[in-house]
A and B are shown apart, each in its own frame.
Chain A
C-alpha cells in the first residue's frame, strides 16, 4: 500500500488484487490463491521493476492487468486505476478492455518470436494494429512503422517490414514487438520478462533501448523480471513479490543497499555467493591423467549447418572444465556427442585413450553422466524419487534390491532430498528438487566424468546458488571430473579450473592452457587440501 503522497504522479494504481486458479484439470486439486491482495502504484514516467522468482505470481499480475488470464484463473477482487480516471473493477463482469488494451496499456512478452503471428509479414502486423485502432491508413501505417523501427535501431526498416518473424532473430523480434506496442502510443507498458529468452548481448541491447525510449516518450513501465541485475539496470523503483504478496517496495538504491525484508536479503545474498570466487575444495586435478580427450570434433545438421567445427578439449581426472557460450553456439551438441546421444561427423572423442564410439553403451553410461538443463523433463513423471535413482542401478545390475534401495536413499539424503520427499514424484516437487534427483541419479552410477549442461540456468537464483554449492561439495568429496556448460559467465569463471569460450562451433578463447589457473596454482602450492578451506 504505497500509493505514496501525490496520487497525481501515479499513472497506474492497483488495489487489492486477488487471483486464484481453479482445479479444472482432472486430478488436480484446486490451488490456493496465486495473488493474495496485491496493491501497488506506478509513478508517471517511471520504470518499476516487479521482481520475483518463478511461481511468485508476477506474470499473473501482468495478465490480470490486461485481462489476459487463462480461463482457469479467477480474479476475486481488485481495482485498476489509470491516472485520474475512474477505477475499473477487475473482478467485474466486463472491464472495458477494448478501451484499455493496446491503446492505454501495451504489453511485451517473454518469447517475442512466438508473440508475432508466424504467417504475417511484420508490415501486415503493424498495419493491422494501427488500423484496428483507427490511428492510420495503409500508407501512413507503413511510414509510422518505419519511423518506429528506425528509432529502435533498425537501419533498414523496409527490409524488416517485408520479413516474416521466422526470418528475424530473437532480439530483433523483441524490438519489433516493442515497436508494435509503441505504435499505439500507450501510457503504460507492461514488459513480462522481455529479455529472459535472449542472449546476453541482445539482452543488453533491448534493455538499453527500452530505457532510452522510455525516457524520450515519458512512458510508464512495469518491468517484470526474475533477474536482479536486469531490474537494477533499468528501473527506478523495485517491488519484490513472494508467493503472491509484496514483501518490499521502494527505490532501487534503497532496496539494494538496505533491504528491509528477509527474503530480499536472501536474494541479494544468493547473488553475492554466485559472484564471489569459490575456494577450490577437494584434491587438485591430476594433469598427467587426461580422462577425456576430444580431437577435431565436427558435427553438422541438414538444417542448421555446421554446429561443431573442429573442437579440441581435454578434461583431466578431477578437473572442473567450463564451456562458456551463448545459446546456439553448439555447446549442448558437444555434450550430446560426448555421451553418444549424437554421432559426430568427424574427429573423435577418447575416454582414457579409447574411442567413445567403440565403448558399449553400458560402460560409457557408467563412466560418463550428463545432467540436463530441464531437470523436470529429464525425469519420468510417473516414478518416485527413490524409484528414479534405483532404476539405473537395476539396469546396470548393481547390487541386490535392498542394497540398491539403501544406496539410493543415502544418495538422496546426500543431495538434500530427505525423508518423505524421497517417495514423491517429480510433479509434486520443485524444479530445484528435481535437479537434486537428477544429480543423485547421475551419481548413482559413480561416473568419472559428470557433464552439467546448463544444469542451473533454469533455476531461480537462490536455488541456483544452492545447487552450485551442492555440485562443488559432491565433486570435492567424490573427486569426479566435471564439464560445466553454461552461458553464465559468473558460474563458469567462478567454479572452473579452466574455461573455454565457444562461439559458432569453435573455441575462441581459453582462460588457461592447463588445468591450473591462478587460484588453483595457489592451492597446489599450499600442497594440501586444508589450504582450500
Chain B
C-alpha cells in the first residue's frame, strides 16, 4: 500500500515535470515573438514610435532572458518555479502567484458549491432513477438530464440572470465575491454538471443490481434499501472519480460562468489577462491549473485504494481450506 502510494506520487511528479516542459515549449515554439506579442506588432494600433518600441523590446528581451538558449531558459524558469515564483504580471507588476492566490478562494468557493449541488442532485436523482428503472419518474429524469446536458452553461446562466436578476431583482449585479452572489452561478454550474453524475450513479447502480451478490442478498431476504446501499457502496469508486473530474472541470472551466456573472475568480482574471496580453499571468494560471488536475487525479487513485479492500489488503489471503 505504501509502496503503491509512493509510486503514484512519483508518477504524478513525472507527469507534472513533463507538463511544465510541454507548456514551456508550447509558449516558446508558438509562432511570433513573445516580445512582439506583448508590445504589439509594429504598425498595429497604439504602436507608433518604432524606435521607442525597439528599445523597449530589447529591454524586455533582456529582462525575460530571451537571448539565452532554450534549455537555460527552461532551467531558470524551473528554478523559479521551485521557489513558487510564477513571475510578475506585465500589467500590474505584481507577483502572479499573489494575484492568483487572491482570486483562487472565490473560484474554489464557486466550484465547491457547484459540486455540492451536483452531488446532491446526482445521488438523489440517480438513486431514485435506478430504483425505479423504466418507470415514469426514471423516464422523466432521463429526459430532463439529456436536455440539461445539451444546454450551454452560459445560456442557462443568461436565462437565470434574466429571471432572477432582471425580472425578480433577487440577484445583485456587481463584481463582489459575497455569499449572496454565490448561489446563482453555483446553481448554474451545479445544474449543468448534474446530468453526468446522475447518469453515472444510475448506470453504476443498475450494473451492480445485476451482480450475483445482489441477487444472493435478495435471496437472503434483504430489503430494497439495504440492497441500494450495497450497490452504492460498491460503485462509490466510480462515483468519486466522476465527482473529482467534475471538480477539476469546474475549477478549470469556470471561465465562462465567472465572466458571465462577473465573479472575481481566477478564470475571469485569466480571461482579462488574455485581453491585456499579460502572458506571464496566462502561463502561471495554466501551470496552477495543470498542477491542480494532476493533484486531483492522484487523489482519486489514492481514494480508490482506500475504498477497495482488494487493493488495500493486497496479498493477504487465506488459501488453505483447513482454516
Q: A168-B318, A169-B319, A172-B321 are in contact. Are A66 and B308 (CB under 8 A)?
A: no
Q: A128-B226, A159-B318, A166-B310 are in contact. Are A103 and B213 (CB under 8 A)?
A: no
Taking a contact as CB atoms under 8 Å apart, the answer to whether B316 and A167 are in contact is yes
Which of B213, B219, B223, B323 has a CB less than 8 Å from the CB of A118?
B213
- Specify which chain A residues have a CB less than 8 angstroms from the CB of B216 in the assembled complex: 107, 109, 115-116, 177
Nearest A-chain residue to B317, judged by Cβ:
A167
* A172–B219 CA distance with the chains assembled, in angstroms: 20
* A169–B317 CA distance with the chains assembled, in angstroms: 9
Q: Does A119 contact B (CB under 8 A)?
A: yes
Which of B213, B234, B308, B319 has a CB less than 8 Å from the CB of A115?
B213
- Specify which chain A residues have a CB less than 8 angstroms from the CB of B234 in the assembled complex: 117-119
Cβ proximity bits A68-109 to B, threshold 8 Å, 1 near / 0 not: 100000000000000000000000000001101111011101
Taking a contact as CB atoms under 8 Å apart, the answer to whether A115 and B226 are in contact is no
* A68–B223 CA distance with the chains assembled, in angstroms: 13
Q: A68-B215, A114-B212, A117-B234 are in contact. Are A184 and B220 (CB under 8 A)?
A: yes
* A202–B320 CA distance with the chains assembled, in angstroms: 11
Q: Does B313 contact A (CB under 8 A)?
A: yes
- Specify which chain B residues have a CB less than 8 angstroms from the CB of A114 in the assembled complex: 211-213
Q: Does B43 contact A (CB under 8 A)?
A: no
Taking a contact as CB atoms under 8 Å apart, the answer to whether B322 and A155 are in contact is yes
Which of A102, A111, A166 has a CB less than 8 Å from the CB of B221?
A102
Q: Does A437 contact B (CB under 8 A)?
A: no
- Specify which chain B residues have a CB less than 8 angstroms from the CB of A442 in the assembled complex: none
Whole-angstrom distance between the Cβ of B209 and the nearest chain A Cβ: 10
Taking a contact as CB atoms under 8 Å apart, the answer to whether B220 and A102 are in contact is yes
* A160–B319 CA distance with the chains assembled, in angstroms: 11
- Specify which chain A residues have a CB less than 8 angstroms from the CB of B323 in the assembled complex: 154-156, 159-160, 172
Taking a contact as CB atoms under 8 Å apart, the answer to whether B318 and A129 are in contact is no
From 125 to 173 in chain A, residues with beta carbon under 8 angstroms from any chain B beta carbon are: 128-129, 132-133, 154-156, 159-160, 163-164, 166-169, 171-172
Taking a contact as CB atoms under 8 Å apart, the answer to whether A202 and B321 are in contact is yes
Whole-angstrom distance between the Cβ of A120 and the nearest chain B Cβ: 8
- Specify which chain A residues have a CB less than 8 angstroms from the CB of B233 in the assembled complex: 119-120
- Specify which chain A residues have a CB less than 8 angstroms from the CB of B320 in the assembled complex: 169
Nearest A-chain residue to B230, judged by Cβ:
A117
- Specify which chain A residues have a CB less than 8 angstroms from the CB of B219 in the assembled complex: 66, 68, 101-102, 105-107, 109
From 173 to 190 in chain A, residues with beta carbon under 8 angstroms from any chain B beta carbon are: 177, 180-181, 184
Taking a contact as CB atoms under 8 Å apart, the answer to whether B212 and A169 are in contact is no
* A164–B313 CA distance with the chains assembled, in angstroms: 9
* A171–B217 CA distance with the chains assembled, in angstroms: 19
Which of B217, B308, B322 has a CB less than 8 Å from the CB of A119?
B308
Whole-angstrom distance between the Cβ of A306 and the nearest chain B Cβ: 15
- Specify which chain A residues have a CB less than 8 angstroms from the CB of B317 in the assembled complex: 166-167
* A115–B212 CA distance with the chains assembled, in angstroms: 5
Nearest A-chain residue to B236, judged by Cβ:
A119
* A278–B230 CA distance with the chains assembled, in angstroms: 52
* A163–B310 CA distance with the chains assembled, in angstroms: 11
Which of B222, B318, B321 has a CB less than 8 Å from the CB of A167?
B318
Q: Does A205 contact B (CB under 8 A)?
A: yes
Q: A169-B321, A172-B321 are in contact. Are A129 and B222 (CB under 8 A)?
A: yes
Q: A101-B219, A164-B310 are in contact. Are A116 and B213 (CB under 8 A)?
A: yes
* A171–B323 CA distance with the chains assembled, in angstroms: 12
Taking a contact as CB atoms under 8 Å apart, the answer to whether A106 and B213 are in contact is no
Nearest B-chain residue to A154, judged by Cβ:
B323
Taking a contact as CB atoms under 8 Å apart, the answer to whether A117 and B213 are in contact is yes
Taking a contact as CB atoms under 8 Å apart, the answer to whether B220 and A106 are in contact is yes
Whole-angstrom distance between the Cβ of A82 and the nearest chain B Cβ: 14
Taking each of B233, B319, B323, which has the highest tally of chain A beta carbons within 10 Å of its own beta carbon?
Answer: B323
Taking a contact as CB atoms under 8 Å apart, the answer to whether B220 and A129 are in contact is yes
Taking a contact as CB atoms under 8 Å apart, the answer to whether A133 and B318 are in contact is no
- Specify which chain B residues have a CB less than 8 angstroms from the CB of A181 in the assembled complex: 220
Cβ proximity bits B221-239 to A, threshold 8 Å, 1 near / 0 not: 1110010001001100000
Cβ proximity bits A482-507 to B, threshold 8 Å, 1 near / 0 not: 00000000000000000000000000
Taking a contact as CB atoms under 8 Å apart, the answer to whether B221 and A133 are in contact is yes
* A66–B221 CA distance with the chains assembled, in angstroms: 10
- Specify which chain A residues have a CB less than 8 angstroms from the CB of B135 in the assembled complex: none
Taking a contact as CB atoms under 8 Å apart, the answer to whether B220 and A172 are in contact is no
* A97–B212 CA distance with the chains assembled, in angstroms: 18
Whole-angstrom distance between the Cβ of A242 and the nearest chain B Cβ: 26
From 299 to 323 in chain B, residues with beta carbon under 8 angstroms from any chain A beta carbon are: 307-310, 313, 316-323
- Specify which chain B residues have a CB less than 8 angstroms from the CB of A156 in the assembled complex: 323
Nearest B-chain residue to A70, judged by Cβ:
B210
* A160–B320 CA distance with the chains assembled, in angstroms: 11
- Specify which chain B residues have a CB less than 8 angstroms from the CB of A116 in the assembled complex: 213, 216
Whole-angstrom distance between the Cβ of A443 and the nearest chain B Cβ: 38
Q: Does B218 contact A (CB under 8 A)?
A: yes
Whole-angstrom distance between the Cβ of B123 and the nearest chain A Cβ: 18
Q: A159-B323, A168-B318, A202-B321 are in contact. Are A117 and B310 (CB under 8 A)?
A: no
Nearest B-chain residue to A180, judged by Cβ:
B220
Whole-angstrom distance between the Cβ of B224 and the nearest chain A Cβ: 10
Q: A109-B216, A156-B323 are in contact. Are A184 and B221 (CB under 8 A)?
A: yes
- Specify which chain A residues have a CB less than 8 angstroms from the CB of B212 in the assembled complex: 109, 111, 114-115
Whole-angstrom distance between the Cβ of B139 and the nearest chain A Cβ: 16
- Specify which chain B residues have a CB less than 8 angstroms from the CB of A117 in the assembled complex: 213, 217, 230, 234
Nearest B-chain residue to A202, judged by Cβ:
B321
Cβ proximity bits B82-115 to A, threshold 8 Å, 1 near / 0 not: 0000000000000000000000000000000000
Whole-angstrom distance between the Cβ of B229 and the nearest chain A Cβ: 10
- Specify which chain B residues have a CB less than 8 angstroms from the CB of A100 in the assembled complex: 221
Cβ proximity bits A308-346 to B, threshold 8 Å, 1 near / 0 not: 000000000000000000000000000000000000000
- Specify which chain B residues have a CB less than 8 angstroms from the CB of A105 in the assembled complex: 219
* A125–B234 CA distance with the chains assembled, in angstroms: 14
Nearest B-chain residue to A181, judged by Cβ:
B220
- Specify which chain B residues have a CB less than 8 angstroms from the CB of A106 in the assembled complex: 219-220
* A177–B216 CA distance with the chains assembled, in angstroms: 9
- Specify which chain A residues have a CB less than 8 angstroms from the CB of B223 in the assembled complex: 98, 132
- Specify which chain B residues have a CB less than 8 angstroms from the CB of A172 in the assembled complex: 318, 321, 323
Taking each of A111, A156, A167, which has the highest tally of chain B beta carbons within 10 Å of its own beta carbon?
Answer: A167
The 8 closest A-B pairs by CB, nearest first: A102-B221, A115-B216, A107-B219, A114-B212, A101-B221, A102-B220, A164-B309, A117-B213
**A contact residues vs B (CB 8 Å cutoff):** 66, 68, 97-98, 100-103, 105-107, 109, 111, 114-120, 128-129, 132-133, 154-156, 159-160, 163-164, 166-169, 171-172, 177, 180-181, 184, 202, 205
- Using A117-B213, A155-B322 as known contacts, list a sample of 15 further A-B pairs with CB atoms less than 8 Å apart, ordered by residue number in A: A101-B219, A102-B222, A106-B220, A107-B219, A114-B213, A115-B216, A118-B213, A128-B226, A132-B221, A164-B309, A171-B321, A172-B318, A180-B220, A184-B220, A202-B321
Residue pairs across A and B with Cβ atoms less than 8 A apart, 23 shown, are A66-B219, A68-B219, A98-B221, A98-B223, A101-B220, A101-B221, A107-B219, A107-B220, A115-B216, A116-B216, A118-B234, A118-B310, A129-B220, A133-B221, A155-B322, A155-B323, A160-B318, A164-B313, A167-B317, A167-B318, A172-B321, A202-B321, A205-B321
